[in-house]
Amino acid sequence: MATTVLDVLKKKIEEDISSAQEHLSGGAPKDYACYREVVGLIRGLEASLGYINDLSRNYLDDDND
């Protein structure tokens, strides 16, 4: 199966989530505000990943029709 734009975007978002999680687990946030900012980033990226997964499923379903 060929790599699509959605696959590339999904991989990049997953890398960004992993990076932000490592940032948190490493104790890098200097205060609670910074911690909340990183957690919010992760939540937003995960939501975006969900949208991409839905779009990808719909795209594949359309191809099968």
Alpha-carbon distances, residue 6 vs 21, 48, 49 (angstroms)? 22, 11, 10
Q: How confident is the model at residue 13 (pLDDT cuts 50, 70, 90)?
A: very high
- Rounded to an integer, what distance in angstroms lies between the CA atom of residue 52 and that of residue 39? 20
**Helical segments of 5-31, H only:** 5-25
In which domain, by residue range, is 49 found? Answer: 5-64
- Cα Rg, the chain, nearest whole Å: 15
Look at residue 10 and tell me whether its pLDDT is greater than 80. yes
Better pLDDT: 2 or 5 = 5
Look at residue 38 and tell me whether its pLDDT is greater than 90. yes
* Whole-number pLDDT of residue 28: 87
Amino acid at 15: E
Instruction: Tally the domains of the chain.
Output: 1
